[in-house]
Structure 1
Amino acid sequence: MNLIKTLCGGLVVSCQPMPGGPFDRIDAILSFARAAQASGAVALRIEGISNVAAVTKACQLPVIGITKRDLDTSAVRITPFLEDVEELIRSGASMVAVDATDRPRPVASKDLIAAIKGLGAIAMADISTEAEARAALDAGADIIGTTMSGYTEPGPGPTAPDLDLVRDCAALRVPLQVINDAQAAAWGEYRFGAGRGRDIVFVTVSSGIGGGVVAGGRLLRGARGLAGSLGQTLRGNGDSLLRLEALASGFGIAEAARMAGHPGDAKSVIAAANDHVPWANDILAGATSELATALVGVQAMVDPDCIVIGGGVGLAHGFIARLEQAFETLPETLVPTLVPAKLGVDAGVIGAADLLNEGH
């Protein structure tokens, strides 16, 4: 059963206190979240980066993360910027909701949806009309919410839920293959790319870290649709637990550089490391060491014929060689065979199309 299926027929609880009110405190929000979990909720909707980070650490329920901003140039408030999407996912949100209404906005809703999907999360579109719902689905949204019905025009807000719109949107449902982009790319590389015909684990290292597993000719989805989500595995111990992608992804590398006093993106850090700049070498060595240790664990658990490395960071010049160098300190019998992905950015599209065509 995948994450979206677990939501069907269940209660999603919004734990969003009035800004500036007596319950606008992280400890109060955590209390609401824990009460919802204990009462049988299937997911939580949480506003604010710090609140999302606290709730995802304290609760086992999946979180729909949002931000709210009051903009001078747009009436759109819910998750209007790409950096909002990135920060919410980095903070632990497995789903991100955006305002997908047809109004002037700083960033097109289709670009926000694409960013959510690109980072391996589930995209929820808050809409106010059936036409907006159709547009959001066409843009790749996984979930439609009628959240904005009655709130896009001047005047008082609605006094009751728009059940007619709910029924109209429910009628838009079509049979779907629910997989994430990294799982689709894994299948693409298995069928037509670097892992053709072999048992593989595909790992994409870009802004985040994702992956997929193909064994015995089958794409493994897992009980919650999370199979292959290497970036979500935890590193460290006690209170210092961090997701792997916080340490070894493009975001993680850039953040480590910023903390070291060298702001820039992962591409600039890798370029500096290839030029043998000491601080960049140290940062990249730390990232590849963390990832190499995780890959050895994957080899021990799954024992694939090879691990296919993709993504903008994973395929950057010298990155795979640095991973292989990091393997030198690890048990030889567990060291995987790494191969670079062949299909590039098209792997996910190719894999998804083939899965649909074959009816997997």
Structure 2
Amino acid sequence: MRKFAWIFMAAMTVAGFSACSNVEDEPLPGLGGGGNGGTTPSVVITDTIYQFNNIEADYTPINELCPGWTHEIVSPADDDRTWQSKTFDNSSAGVTEKYIQATAHDSSDKNAGKTYELWMFSPALNVKDAANKVFSFYSEGAYWQSTSSLEVYVLNEPKSNASSKEKLNPVLATSTNPGGNFKGWVASGDISLEGKGDVVYIGFRYQAQGGNKNSTTYCIDDFAFGRAQVEHFIGEPDPTPEPTPDVDWSKAISVADALAQADQSTFAVKGHIVGCIKNNPSKTFFESFAEAEAAGDIEWAGASTFTGYSQVFIADDAAETDGSKCLLVKLNDTEAAKALRNEAKLEGNADRIGMTIYVQGLKKANFGLPGIREISAYKVGE
């Protein structure tokens, strides 16, 4: 079923509708950015579900995406990151997920030392006239850190210093594995707004430390009010991909021969999966394999757990642990690569060590190490 986000609005009691979706609509009046403009709401709703299916690109602030939604950057004063749109190619489901997220992550580490407090506010919710006085949402996250937090409030106005606000205790996505991923979208359950006020706002408060590995990323989707919680919608099926080109895999070269090929050359190579770079490594560019190994960023056979999912090392010897004899295969930059990721990534799949794969792609460094990228075709097994 198409993911519609019908917005049933009322100027307190008069209802109408529009869509925060990919459907063309007349723009709705909103409060604008920042969350502090005006005290009289211009978007008041009694029954709604926002599934954010109008997202077309990453990093669109919530107030520009859905009228009536607002945001506030409490700190830092010199950074404009906020609650904004995000897309994710879920290749296993064949869809592109769309949701709202907040993060303080910066791979360059330029924002290290900054403290973030970012708020996102719903439109005004007409609790008085709502037939079902509940709201709900789904949350998800990644790269859990104990110094980050997500809190949910009910407020009488859409700003962090509202004269009346109450912290709620919904079910939220969580993890106890520092730096690790979460385990999927988590339903908040129906949260009662009975007795909270005639017209209220829901505020999502994100707090985190800046840097390249100091913060949790939190995501919100399927915000509903005036109705029971809906099933999480992961997205529309992506268009049917182009067929994988026919490749004569009998002509695939060895990893040793691939390492001798010039950069930017295209070829098919056969190898065995022998390891990966762990998730959230200390660096994204290494001068040598020895540097990556010394930093503890390589996961080999025998590792207690595997966390890497965006690449794998292949070698001619299924038991190889000499990085100079390995080629790093990138698993997330083409549709073929993403499809291979589902069959080859080591995250949670230690039994794939030694598995044979064939890939056709471009020789190009990955994490600064000899690699093959832009995969156009692949084969798993002999």
For normalisation by structure 2, the TM-score amounts to 0.24
- The answer to which structure, 1 or 2, has the higher relative contact order (CA under 8 A, 6+ apart) is 2
Q: Which has the higher strand share?
A: 2
